[in-house]
Each structure stands twice: as structure tokens, then as C-alpha cells.
Amino acid sequence: MLRLTLALCLFFLTQIAFSQKKLELADKSYEDEIRTVQLYPNLSANLDKLKPAVAAVNRQNLVLEFDDLLGQRSNYYVRLIHCNFDWTKSSLQDLEFLNEYNEYAITEYDMSTQTSVPYVHYYFEVPAVKLPGNYVLVAYRESDKNDLLLSRRFMIYSNEVGLLTDNQSQGLGNLQLSNQQLNFRLNYSRLDVVNPYEAIRLVIRQNQRWDNARINVKPSFVREDKRELEYRFFDQSNQFKAGNEFRFVDFRSLNFPGRNTGRLDRSQRPFHLSVLTDRTRQDQAYAQYRDMNGGYIIDNQDNRDPSVSSDYVFVTFSLASAKLAATVHLLGALNNWDRTATSRMDYNARANAYEITLFLKQGWYDYQYWVEGNLQDSFQLEGSHFETENLYEVLVYQRPFRPQADLLVGYYQLPVNSR
């Protein structure tokens, strides 16, 4: 009976959402039953699913996976959209970046097994493109491009620029205890550019986040004699708050829940898991441990094949804190870093705590508490320490005379404080 009720609720939510669907060139699910969307390089180990959705032109091996909680197979299709450096749609026609018609059927799927919440798990290999650049993969139902399921960003790059760093990552002066900065030089000698200050666009992001990425970063100096651009940031505008190592919860097993799990209510299905109550880390000293930089891994220690045997669970997160004069969000890859009503925490005055309940697939999840509001420090509940391990990505774009679109001509990963 509970399964039927959950399925009916998801069905009616889908019907309501359908009339409100509007494509966004971002990481987004447009129906409540489309869950656990992952786009990653198709390499060998499970941990590769944590890697950015980025591939070289000569090695395009990206894979899309997602679950449909209605539990009944449907005919789904995919198309690709080429975007400029700022994720606006480019002017390119489909055949300028593809070798074939821009519609691909999703044909690989499996039904869930022995789960309280039935679902269909879909698998799709992203088709190769001809040009480097930013792309958005869009999935939709029954060849109706307006009946959207999900959109997901990915990048294809070529190596046309060189990058040199000086390994200086701390901020300046009294900022050095909380900020990280990247100092590096770009050599553009292989590019045909007249005015590199304007022709080359640079984007930097931290831990695969787009919500706080630095877009169109300008160089500090242009060395035309060496055909180099030098990036040294002397103020906070292009520095990053280092943040703290992410909090985490492990419910890969529902028979023996792991670290940071509290009570598991088995009296109803789906199960309801309470994460141990967190506390503010403001003014605490930095504590080193390994995290997944806000990512998550789907895994199941009770059954084989985590993709189809892992169950969905209601998971309640709570943070003991006085009420703040600002909105508090729970953020991570688990909700695409999306600071909306779905990530906003409610304050429980009786428990003196912020609370939120999410519907998540079994696995290991990183997360953090983010403060939103004017004159508020976003990391005031987490703390920010220059010692924190973070992964930065530098994306270099150029718009040539032809084609008239931004191409991703350089991509580099710059780990800071790697363990």
C-alpha cells in the first residue's frame, strides 16, 4: 500500500511539474522521480564517478546514469546543446558539432531488485562531439523535447595552452588563514589571437561547483613577448574561501549503518534514517581528514550491484544551533549545490536545531551547511582554513574566427593540499 501511495504521489507531482518545465542550461532534474543523476568519465573504479564530467577530444568516454522512481520503463531520449564559456547557448547548428542527427535513444536499463522503492536504472554512453567546448546533455520523454527529465553539464577540451604554477595557494595578509588563491601563467603561443586579454576567457571552479565559480577571470599581466598571461590575485575578488573538510554520513548498509548515522526507523517503508546531530565548527581548529570534496558514492554493502539493489531512504540532517538571521542550506553534490527551497533547512525551536529531510539512495555522502544572507559569512557554521584540501579546475576558452563559438582550448586540475 505504501509503495502505491509513493508512486501516486510522484505521479501527481510529475503532472504538476510538467506544466512548469523550462529548460535551464544547468545541472537540474525536472521531475521529482528522476533521482541520483551522475555524469562521469567511464573509467574502471567506482571512485571514478567522483571525477568531473570532463573529457579530452580524443578520449570521449562519458557516461550518464540515473534512476526513475516510477518503476516502469519509458522511452527516453537525449540531445546535446553546445554552449559558450558562460553557459549561454552558442549559435552553432547541430551538425557543426555532431556527426549525426541530434537525438539519441536511451536503450540500456535495469529494474531494481529487492528494494522497498521500485525504480528503473538507466545507463547511457554520451555520443562523441567534433568540437571542444561546453555542452549540456538534455534528456526528455517520448521524443517530446518539452517533456524534460534532466539536464547535465559536461566539457570536452583540447590542449592548446600550457599552464605553469608557483605553488602559492594562501591568501594575502590577514586573509591567508581562510582563503586560497591560485597563481599561474598561461602560455598561448599555439593560439592565433591578436588581443589575448579579451580573446581568452578563463573560468575557475572549486570542487566541481558552479554556484561559486569565477567566470571570465582577467589576467593580472600580459607578457606579449613571451605570449603569456599571468594570473596573480591581489584581492578577494578572485580568491576562494578555503572552507573546511566536508561532513559525511555512511549508510551503505541498512543492516549495519555506518559512521555518523543515528536512529534507523524500520517501522515503515521506505526506511527513515536520522543522521547524528551536527554542531557548528565556527572558531574550531582545523582537523585534517580525507573527504570527497562534496561528492557522493552509491554503494551497497548488503547486496551486490549497488546500481539496482541499493534502496532509497528518507534521511534527516540536523544541526544544533541558535537561530541565525539568515537562511541555512544543506549543500553538496547530493543536490547539485542548488541553493533553493529544496535545500533550505527549517528551524525547529523545540530542538534548537536546523533540520531537513532528503530522499537519498544508499551510499556515502559528503555535505556542508551554507549560510545565505547579506553581510553573512557563508562558512560561519563550517569555518574556513587555508589547510583544507580542495580541487580547483582551470578552464581556458577561445573564440576563433570560425566557428563563432567559445571553444575549450585548455583544461587543468590544480589540487591544493592534496593528501
Please report which confidence band the pLDDT of residue 308 belongs to, taking 50, 70 and 90 as the band edges. Answer: very high
pLDDT beyond 50 at 12: no
Residue 13 confidence (pLDDT): 46
Cell 590577514 sits on residue: 174
Distances 23 to 76, 80, 89, 210, 212 between C-alpha atoms, Å = 16, 13, 11, 17, 21
Phi, psi of 253, deg, nearest 5: -120, 135
Please report which confidence band the pLDDT of residue 414 belongs to, taking 50, 70 and 90 as the band edges. Answer: very high
Q: What pLDDT digit, counting tens, does each position of 135-146 carry?
A: 999 999 998 999
pLDDT beyond 90 at 127: yes
Closest of 360, 363, 287, 297 to residue 330, by C-alpha: 360
Residue 417 confidence (pLDDT): 93
pTM above 0.85, yes or no: yes
Residue 75 confidence (pLDDT): 97
Distances 181 to 109, 115, 167, 323 between C-alpha atoms, Å = 43, 46, 10, 32
Q: What is the dihedral of CA 336, 337, 341, 343, to 10 degrees?
A: 100
Mean pLDDT of 170-194: 79
In the chain, the domains with their CATH numbers are: 2-157 (2.60.40.10), 162-242+388-416 (2.60.40), 247-372 (2.60.40)
Alpha-carbon distance 260 to 25, whole Å?
35
3-class DSSP state of 318: strand
Letter for the amino acid at 368?
Answer: Q
Mean pLDDT of 303-313: 94
Average pLDDT, the chain: 91
Alpha-carbon distance 298 to 256, whole Å?
16
pLDDT beyond 90 at 11: no
358: its cell numbers: 532528503
Residue 65 confidence (pLDDT): 97
Please report which confidence band the pLDDT of residue 380 belongs to, taking 50, 70 and 90 as the band edges. Answer: very high
